[in-house]
Chain A
Amino acid sequence: MAIQAGSFRTLELTDVGRSFGGHNALTDLNLTIRAGEFIALLGPSGCGKSTALNCLAGLLPLTHGTIRIDDERIDTLPAEKRGFGMVFQNYALFPHLSVEKNVAFGLQMRNVPKAELKKRVAEAIALVKLEDHARKLPGQLSGGQQQRVAIARAIVLEPRLVLMDEPLSNLDAKLRLDMRTEIRRIHQNLGLTTVYVTHDQEEALSMADRLVVLREGRVQQVGSPEEVHTSPVNWHVADFMGYRNMLDLEVASADADRVVVAGSGLRLRATAVERVAVGDKVRLAMRPEDVRIAPDGAAPAESIPATVAVVEYHGREFAVGVSTASGLTLHVRSDHAPQVGQEVALVVAPERALVFRSSLDAADLSEVERDLEEVRT
């Protein structure tokens, strides 16, 4: 493959922040990206992930912090000089230019000689398998094809970094899966360094080497997909990672990370992720697939009695909505279809029931520290 990624060793974001009229859209983003890495910025809308991407691209100036590639400072460079490729959510293809000319645009801006330009455009178009559509206008292509053009247009420049802003969110579910594989393939074949913004945890988990989970402009957790998936650091990350059952309870007893939580007529053994003390208000998070319906008749000691409210067929298993005597709703999985209205006992392994502090203001503490630091400096 003749198209290659531009090379560098590390890209370092230090205390990067951006505020809009007094509102902090992004605060203190510290991140070191190694060449060839696929990083996903993950979070709900308004969490600052797109702001971070636009800051990286240079489309938004930073209000704080620096961005360096190796030892070169790039946050002061205008966007057109950074040499990053960007793929936009709405593709942003030039509607009046053919696929070829869209892809060639960046090369023309760099005054690449004609023969080389032709060769590279043909390669990029071949890479995204659009040879048959090279002379069409974007308007004549399907959504998936337009997305491929946008990718080809970004990578033909052999960019040091490829930025993708929710590139799959406008595609239908099946196409999204195909394009996911496609993007991952291109990333691996070309050794690209990619920063990928998404609100879809599944997308992030399946594509990225490392995840950065954001909330209200702050980094919540950075880690490999596995780390973030199995050991979220707070309930927000857990919520985002598919811990659909969130119960507000109280700590009844605590022995290091082995805790017993109680409330709303429940009493469960669980694992504390953050440090909690007896009497603390906590949030218990459990994945639907970790909560099972106990076999008929068996009622283990530490089970949750509940009534089946909704049963959905999900192909291999059933997704069951149950409600407890105190009115809490839980989502669980089951191999067999229980009857609606049936009394069941739910069991969950203590190590799969995670206990987090109710307030996310662990960040508050560090905010005080930050303030102190600012006073000191």
Chain B
Amino acid sequence: MSTVAPARTPGSRKDGRSTASLQHRLAERGIDRSLLMLLPAVLFTFALFVYPFAYGIGLTVQPNPDVVEKWGGGIFANYVAFFSDPFFRDSVWITMRLALPAALFNVLASVPVAFKLRGKFRGKRALTTLLVLPITLGTVLTAQGLLIFAGRQGWLNRFLMDVGLIQEPFQLVMNYTGVFLSLVISGFPFAFLLISSYLSGIDPSLEAAATTLGASWFQRFRRIILPLLAPGLATTFILTFVLAFSVFPSARLVGDATGETRVMALMAYRAFGEQIDYPMASTVAILMGVIELAVIALVLLWRSTFYKGSTGGKG
């Protein structure tokens, strides 16, 4: 007994439908079933981020009665309160005054260091490790270190006084300087690593070419390296700014939590932990995000004016 299968043209069925696998046919419509594996992650994102975030925004428009009574503004009473009460309003300026200079310093200080560490030399690895090591330290450890090293009774002050260079100890912690130092210690390694990698993406022969064309080192930096590095600098600035803007532990541990380092994160914490005013705490947190986004948007806008193509020399 033998049945002869009817001859078929490959790739088509009797009914004219494609013989391609389901996966293939779905792919033609832009559907990739393996993306279904992302589902658990998406669920978690919703449960742990999107929902709480939306809930927080919801909270901001459900102000406590006493806030409404004091500042008015109906459901927007929290926002009205934030911008009317100098105690809240000033924290924006206080945070900016810390985060902007710290981010700027980290970026600007990283450029020459990354530049110097670009070539090959003995001890490069050790030096790089040393510069990047603070990343591994937690903020609390950094703060603790700062207190021990730079506090009124710290090594630095004791040493300087013992040698007779100063009579009174320097006030380096529990104020603006302390927080600034802490932000530099934790932010610099990030900035340095990022800028190093951006710098290594610039073909060294570009500099050699500029040299043979008669450009001094400053002209080479100003006319060739800087324009090619600028988008990287902007990105690095954004990242270190965001890190610095949300400063919280060091503002409390090595800062002046009621005075010059009364940053927004502290204000949110205070509303949440001390006044048990969740709606107000959420408002501060949301406004933190809004202000960060505004700064990032400005920097990105500026960045969009730069040349952003290849920096590999072949154009």
CB contacts under 8 Å to B, within A273-307, are none
A-B contact pairs, 22 of them (CB 8 A): A57-B208, A57-B212, A59-B212, A79-B208, A80-B214, A80-B216, A86-B212, A92-B208, A92-B209, A92-B313, A93-B209, A94-B206, A94-B224, A95-B309, A95-B312, A95-B314, A96-B227, A105-B210, A106-B214, A141-B315, A146-B315, A154-B212
CB contacts under 8 Å to A, within B204-241, are 205-206, 208-216, 219, 223-224, 227-228
A79 and B311 contacting across the interface, CB-CB below 8 Å: no
**A110 contact set on B, CB distance < 8 A:** 214
CB contacts under 8 Å to B, within A61-98, are 79-86, 88, 90-96
**B215 contact set on A, CB distance < 8 A:** 80, 105, 109
B306 to chain A, nearest CB (A): 8
Q: Footprint of B on A, CB under 8 Å?
A: 57-59, 79-86, 88, 90-96, 105-106, 109-110, 137-141, 146, 153-154, 157, 163
A-B Cβ contacts below 8 A, count: 93
Instruction: In the A-B complex, list the 7 residue pairs whose CB atoms are closest, starting with the nearest.
Output: A138-B315, A96-B307, A106-B213, A92-B209, A139-B315, A109-B214, A92-B205
Interface residues on B, range: 20 to 34
**B209 contact set on A, CB distance < 8 A:** 86, 88, 92-94, 153
Q: Residue B45 at the A interface, CB < 8 A? A: no
Chain A residue with Cβ nearest B213: A106
**A86 contact set on B, CB distance < 8 A:** 208-209, 212
Interface contacts beyond A80-B215, A109-B216, A146-B314: sample of 12 additional A-B pairs, CB < 8 Å, sorted by A: A79-B212, A81-B214, A88-B209, A90-B205, A90-B313, A91-B313, A92-B208, A95-B206, A96-B307, A109-B214, A138-B314, A154-B212
Q: Residue B203 at the A interface, CB < 8 A? A: yes
Chain B residue with Cβ nearest A145: B315
**A140 contact set on B, CB distance < 8 A:** 315
B203 to chain A, nearest CB (A): 7
A59 and B208 contacting across the interface, CB-CB below 8 Å: yes
B219 and A109 contacting across the interface, CB-CB below 8 Å: yes
**B84 contact set on A, CB distance < 8 A:** none
Chain A residue with Cβ nearest B223: A105
Chain B residue with Cβ nearest A150: B209
Q: Residue B310 at the A interface, CB < 8 A? A: yes
A80 and B212 contacting across the interface, CB-CB below 8 Å: yes
Please measure, in the bound complex, the distance between the C-alpha atom of A154 and the C-alpha atom of B211, giving whole angstroms: 12
Please measure, in the bound complex, the distance between the C-alpha atom of A188 and the C-alpha atom of B18, giving whole angstroms: 66
Please measure, in the bound complex, the distance between the C-alpha atom of A83 and the C-alpha atom of B213, giving whole angstroms: 7
Chain B residue with Cβ nearest A143: B314
A79 and B315 contacting across the interface, CB-CB below 8 Å: no
Please measure, in the bound complex, the distance between the C-alpha atom of A141 and the C-alpha atom of B314, giving whole angstroms: 10
